[in-house]
Amino acid sequence: MAQQEDVFKKIVSHAKEYGFVFQSSEIYDGLAAVYDYGQNGVELKNNIKRYWWDAMTLLHENIVGIDSAIFMHPTIWKASGHVDAFNDPLIDNRDSKKRYRADVLIEDAIAKIDEKIEKEVAKAAKRFGESFNEELFRQTNPRVVEHVNKRNALHQRFSDAMNNNDLEELRQIIIDEEIVCPISGTRNWTDVRQFNLMFKTEMGSTADGAMTVYLRPETAQGIFVNYLNVQKTGRMRLPFGIAQIGKAFRNEIVARQFIFRMREFEQMEMQFFVRPGDEMKWFKFWKETRLRWHKALGLGDEKYRYHDHEKLAHYANAATDIEFEMPFGFKEVEGIHSRTNFDLSQHEKFSGKKIQYFDPELNESYVPYVIETSIGVDRMFLSVLCSSYEEQVLEGGESRVVLHLPAALAPVKCAVMPLVKKDGLPDKAREIVNDLKFDFSTHYDEKDSIGKRYRRQDAIGTPFCITVDHQTLEDNTVTLRERDSMEQTRVNVADLHKLIHDRVALTSLLRRLG
């Protein structure tokens, strides 16, 4: 684990050093849990968004996009439940003065027991080899059984406390489980309090009577309140979806792990409206479709898993997370939720407007049910960055840091380099750039040795380097160097466009999705 933490630290500093992610307001010592994307980061982020947007709106003829405002009528957040229930239970340690989410402290304690169970199983698997019967072992080994019972009891107690909003019980669990503050190592805990995660601000001048508005904590509500507009103007028939990408804001109590948990972040959400009773079919469909989208990137199928929710949010009747293996463990990147007709019904109630769909096949009107897919752009960015980062020792003892980014997501697609800065090679290289730049983000680089220039491109994940040498002037061929294999092939300048396009175009990724 310590080693993994080291790697994570290196990734964070790499992200800064190569213009991917900067701390916000850095020259003023930063603003906690807010980040800026640099010259390479913004390109990678835009490519991730484009991949999602196109996968939703191009590949599904019944999905359209919108872009709703961040400010919305405050009653929307009353209707959605966010004013009353978008809270996290927080607890302070009196000695370290550090603040924690009570639920996260308990979840971590449960995860520790899970780890113990898995360790016992792994140890036994090693000891018994081929003949190991894992299921039987899990059911009968006294140590494992004891851990499992303890875990389940704790989990039940935790779920009950969360569902009943019982803050005293949450505190009691922390005391009973002897959970200590990771900083001070003590159990000197305050009471547990609820903390609303929405940012508030004022709209209009105070003299007129200003209105309190919220920075949206999710983009989803912007979709729900536009359901009728889109359905009517787009003449949409159920089932259909509305997609949106945009900023969301949450005053997270404990913001940590770099861009994993931010106070200002971006979401890509799609609400899919279906006939009541069909929701489980579509829930399953979207669960599978979304995992396929992730896997098509080729970051490694084993890095993903589903995590089905046991404690469901007030609006959901089924929910699952797609988790990705980050250097700090498997973590939620995307949520898929069956939200019933909760949101639309609430908006009917609070707005007094009828929000229904007339189903011509059934000849009746109803409030549609909704399946939501909700993914954080920044978390997706982090998962791509972490799984692409590699420090490689090369033959001859040299080393390089390379980002094996999926080519379609790479910020720069190719770099063109004259071998030397004379003999007309820069002019020829510029000529190639001027041809490629219309279709691909193309760098020109003539500074330093060619080896150094390759390293710079490896470090930002550029899939191709094109080197112009003296032979180029004679026969119009260049060397094309591929990032991962470092293989160099001699190719004709006229073929460059196709060769690069075949590898880096978003289309090739989308085609994998069908």
Residues near ligand ATP, by CB under 6 A: 218, 250, 252, 261-262, 265, 267, 332-335, 374-376, 378-379
Contact 259, 382 (CB under 8 A): yes
d(CA 258, CA 239): 38
In terms of CB distance, is 31 or 401 closer to ligand ATP?
Answer: 31
In terms of CB distance, is 262 or 405 closer to ligand ATP?
Answer: 262
- Tell me if the bond preceding 239 is cis, omega within 30° of 0: yes
d(CA 246, CA 229): 19
Residue 440 C-beta: closest distance to ligand ATP, Å: 29
Write phi, then psi, for 401 (nearest 5 degrees): -105, 125
Residue 374 C-beta: closest distance to ligand ATP, Å: 4
Give the three-class secondary structure for 87.
strand
Q: With CA atoms as reference, report the closest residue to 85 among 355, 346, 367.
A: 346
Residue 262 C-beta: closest distance to ligand ATP, Å: 4
Residue 156 C-beta: closest distance to ligand ATP, Å: 20
Q: How far is CA 307 from CA 67, 91, 322, 334, 337, in A?
A: 30, 26, 6, 10, 12
d(CA 318, CA 312): 7
Residue 334 C-beta: closest distance to ligand ATP, Å: 5
Rounded (5°) CA angle 292-296-300: 100
Residue 375 C-beta: closest distance to ligand ATP, Å: 5
First-to-last alpha carbon distance for the chain, in angstroms, is 39
b vs e for 392-429, b when ≥16 Cβ sit within 10 Å of the residue's Cβ? eeeeeeeeebbbbbbbbbbbbbbbbbbbeeeeebbebb
In terms of CB distance, is 273 or 315 closer to ligand ATP?
Answer: 315
Residue-level length of the chain:
514
H helix runs in 332-371, sequence order: 342-351
Residue 35 C-beta: closest distance to ligand ATP, Å: 10
Residue 225 C-beta: closest distance to ligand ATP, Å: 18
Rounded (5°) CA angle 319-196-159: 40
In terms of CB distance, is 216 or 483 closer to ligand ATP?
Answer: 216
Q: With CA atoms as reference, report the closest residue to 48 among 450, 455, 272, 334.
A: 334
Residue 77 C-beta: closest distance to ligand ATP, Å: 14
d(CA 190, CA 184): 14
Instruction: Count other Cβ atoms within 10 Å, centred on residue 152.
Output: 12
In terms of CB distance, is 262 or 355 closer to ligand ATP?
Answer: 262
In terms of CB distance, is 374 or 462 closer to ligand ATP?
Answer: 374
Which tokens in the block code for residue 22? 């900067």
- Rounded to the nearest 10°, the torsion over CA 107, 108, 110, 116 is 160
Residue 173 C-beta: closest distance to ligand ATP, Å: 19
Residue 437 C-beta: closest distance to ligand ATP, Å: 33
Q: With CA atoms as reference, report the closest residue to 512 among 373, 407, 416, 439.
A: 407
d(CA 223, CA 229): 10
In terms of CB distance, is 46 or 251 closer to ligand ATP?
Answer: 251
d(CA 77, CA 487): 55
The dihedral sign for the CA sequence 225, 228, 229, 235: positive
In terms of CB distance, is 337 or 481 closer to ligand ATP?
Answer: 337
In terms of CB distance, is 87 or 184 closer to ligand ATP?
Answer: 87
In terms of CB distance, is 89 or 335 closer to ligand ATP?
Answer: 335
**Whose CB is nearest to ligand ATP?**
376
In terms of CB distance, is 147 or 379 closer to ligand ATP?
Answer: 379
Residue 294 C-beta: closest distance to ligand ATP, Å: 12
In terms of CB distance, is 249 or 369 closer to ligand ATP?
Answer: 249
The radius of gyration computed from the CA coordinates of the chain, to the nearest angstrom, equals 26
In terms of CB distance, is 177 or 378 closer to ligand ATP?
Answer: 378
Residue 321 C-beta: closest distance to ligand ATP, Å: 7
